[in-house]
Structure 1
Amino acid sequence: MIKSAENIIVGISIGDLNGIGSEVVLKTFEDSRMLELCTPVIFANVKILSFLKKNFTSTVLMHGIDRLDQITPGKVNVFNLWKEGLDVNAGVNDAKIGEYAIKSFVAATAALKEGVIDVLVTAPINKYNIQSEDFKFPGHTDYLDQELEGNALMMMVQDNLRVGLLTDHIPLSEVASHLTEDLIKKKIETVRKSLIQDFSINKPRIAVLGLNPHCGDGGVIGKEDDEILKPVIKKLFEKGTLVFGPFAADGFFGSNQYDKYDAVIATYHDQGLIPFKTLSFGKGVNYTAGLDKIRTSPDHGTAYDIAGKDEADFGSFKEAVYLAIDIYRSRNLYVEISAKPLKIKEKQL
């Protein structure tokens, strides 16, 4: 059964407390109508958030809880994950703050796995200061891929523009060696399934961008497009997947070709994210597709340069909350419909 709106519990990991995470989170819930859409639970400490709130314009009322069974609909719940004070300094890269960012994220992920929260929205972290003996992941996505069932895929979303990645946080020099037939098949299938169950698109059309300039120009500028990408795309298309390409990446977005497809798959991080962020104007959302649970995040980082200055735009974080709720509803509706037997009326004689 699909939950009523206010009973959808949105868990929020607070991210780097020296960045703009707390500002965009609290500003998102300034509008009381948000509490008609969901029940937020912030994994942090209510005293610290009350202190940080003084650095930016916010009148949001927070409801501190010490146990997750105390979550109250209609309130901005803050789960007091820790009791001790922290030395918080806006704009400073601090390993101790990174430690607490991961403490929040790991606890929120555990709550997501256990079904205590329905979806997870993550505020920005600093990928450098989160590294430790206990946490050796490039970012959120890699940890979620380990902890949750499925195959994680980074997908950027803004309205009908969806950009997925074959490879994400790896050095550019290693991209070509990662492009195997198995990886390409797996990622395309992950995008296809996500478009169906998470975005309610029955017959999704998917475009794949080439790795090399001009898709290699027949092998003159690289052979990966002809020898790896094209054969896999052809095989999948022949089996019924509406996947097309590879397309030369340089003119694909500028010529509005992306409008013809339900999703675009880029071969590496910047190939997809530069045009996406150019087109999305700060309203984009990072969605981790392919997992059995739902996680979204804003499409920006910690923004140390404006932290504590009351200048942060919370639009992307708000969109991340909206998208998480929409996907939760779409996915549950998909499961509900799939579980119903198909009834075929007998032809009247």
Structure 2
Amino acid sequence: MSRQKIKIGISQGDINGIGYEVIMKTLSDARILEMCTPIVYGSPKVAAYHRKALDMNNFNFNNIRTANEADPKRANIINCIDDNIRVELGKSSDIAGEASYMALDAAVQDLKSGLIDALVTAPINKDNIQSEKFNFPGHTEFLAEQFESKDYLMLMVSEMMKIGVVTSHVPLAQVPELITEKLILNKLRIMANTLEKDFSIKKPRIAVLGLNPHAGDGGLLGSEEKDVIIPAIEKAKEDGILALGPYPTDGFFGSGDYTKFDAILAMFHDQGLTPFKLISFEKGVNYTAGLPVIRTSPSHGTAFDIAGEDKASPDSFRQALYLAIDVHKSRELYKEISKNPLKKYEINPNQVDETIDLQSEDQEI
């Protein structure tokens, strides 16, 4: 009996942004339906509004009531919100925030029930979605609570790099006090595990960035490297994790040393996401590592300023969909290897050898 295609749930995001545009542009490619069965959690009427605004008359959704009814040869949509909802392109509204939550909640419930295999979340507005039911900085923290995951990591992924952050959506002034040896070690363990299980990278090499300019310059510009970061790296090595650093951020990216690692751990949000988006903005993906389920998202936001103008690139959303499929396959392979440890599998045939030759060798610890 042939295996069913992977069912990918897609939450609509903010109805006044570019969510539906990037979703429909991605799903209009028939090749997507060869890889997965997409199920959008949203509103057929809202989708029709966007389709008309974008003049995409050659694309249609298959309306279904439950994920079990999904047609594997069609792009499917489940209605999750009031049919009378009003679309106001480019505007933030409480109604749009509520619709974002309702679609996300419906998708999450199906993910919990195993009716879909993975979730791709279109961008939400982090302000208008706030309510008694959703009181989180973003998708990552909401999903971590929904799946009771205390240990998770926001991991930005592209063909050029994978970069995670020790602290994510917190004020910069709070970062130094939040950076602890325990937290860094925890994030390194999550990263190493997800690289092996979700990305099929055997013995991943992880670069750790410093917190201060020039990675503290031996304590002259800050003591966090000596007191916190280096001890965490040493303990990670004792766990068998190949972590190196801490590296000064400017030289690390300026010299191209980031290309010599499987992943990078930054200390705070902008330290990691600024270089990532400079290099991979249009094709970057936000992946929540450490969850028992698979969730990806495009790296961009709602882009209210271009909503409905047919200017949004679907590249990042398409890559998010591809990554969800790839991670699902990688986890299945990992399960097979765990069941048959003596059987030979090709994990990552393109992976280069483990020799590390960095321009910033004097920063290796």
- TM-score, length basis structure 2: 0.91
User: What's the secondary structure of 1:258's corresponding residue?
Assistant: helix
| Cα distance in 2 for residues equivalent to 1:210 and 1:277 | 19
Per-residue deviation at 1:68? 2.6
What is aligned with 2:288? 288
What is aligned with 1:255? 255
Per-residue deviation at 1:133? 1.6
Superposition CA RMSD, Å = 1.6
User: What's the secondary structure of 2:290's corresponding residue?
Assistant: strand
**1:272-287 correspondence runs (5 A):** 272-287=272-287
| Cα distance in 2 for residues equivalent to 1:325 and 1:69 | 19
| Cα distance in 1 for residues equivalent to 2:304 and 2:343 | 57
**1:1-349 correspondence runs (5 A):** 3-4=3-4, 7-58=5-56, 59-150=58-149, 151-342=151-342
Alignment coverage as a number of residue pairs: 342
| Cα distance in 2 for residues equivalent to 1:3 and 1:313 | 32
The 8 Å contact of residues 48 and 85 in structure 1, kept in 2 or not, is answered as: no
User: What's the secondary structure of 1:206's corresponding residue?
Assistant: strand
The 8 Å contact of residues 122 and 298 in structure 2, kept in 1 or not, is answered as: yes
What is aligned with 1:347? none
Structure 1 unmatched ranges of 5 or more: 345-349
The 8 Å contact of residues 7 and 118 in structure 2, kept in 1 or not, is answered as: yes
| Cα distance in 1 for residues equivalent to 2:283 and 2:2 | 27
| Cα distance in 1 for residues equivalent to 2:217 and 2:300 | 34
Letter in 2 for 1:185: L
Letter in 2 for 1:108: A
Structure 2 unmatched ranges of 5 or more: 345-365
My pick for the range that moved more, 137-146 or 160-169, is 160-169
Per-residue deviation at 1:223? 1.0
Letter in 2 for 1:322: Y
The 8 Å contact of residues 2 and 332 in structure 1, kept in 2 or not, is answered as: no
Per-residue deviation at 1:69? 2.2
Per-residue deviation at 1:177? 1.1
User: What's the secondary structure of 2:219's corresponding residue?
Assistant: coil
Letter in 1 for 2:64: I
- TM-score, length basis structure 1: 0.95
| Cα distance in 2 for residues equivalent to 1:208 and 1:309 | 41
Per-residue deviation at 1:220? 2.2
| Cα distance in 2 for residues equivalent to 1:281 and 1:108 | 26
My pick for the range that moved more, 188-197 or 60-69, is 60-69
Q: Percent identity?
A: 49
The 8 Å contact of residues 10 and 38 in structure 1, kept in 2 or not, is answered as: yes
Letter in 1 for 2:165: L
| Cα distance in 2 for residues equivalent to 1:88 and 1:34 | 27
| Cα distance in 1 for residues equivalent to 2:343 and 2:36 | 35
The 8 Å contact of residues 81 and 102 in structure 2, kept in 1 or not, is answered as: no
Letter in 1 for 2:67: L
Render the CA deviation track for 1:42-64: whole Å, top value 9, x for unaligned: 00111221122111142212101
The 8 Å contact of residues 2 and 333 in structure 1, kept in 2 or not, is answered as: no
Render the CA deviation track for 1:192-211: whole Å, top value 9, x for unaligned: 00110111111100001001
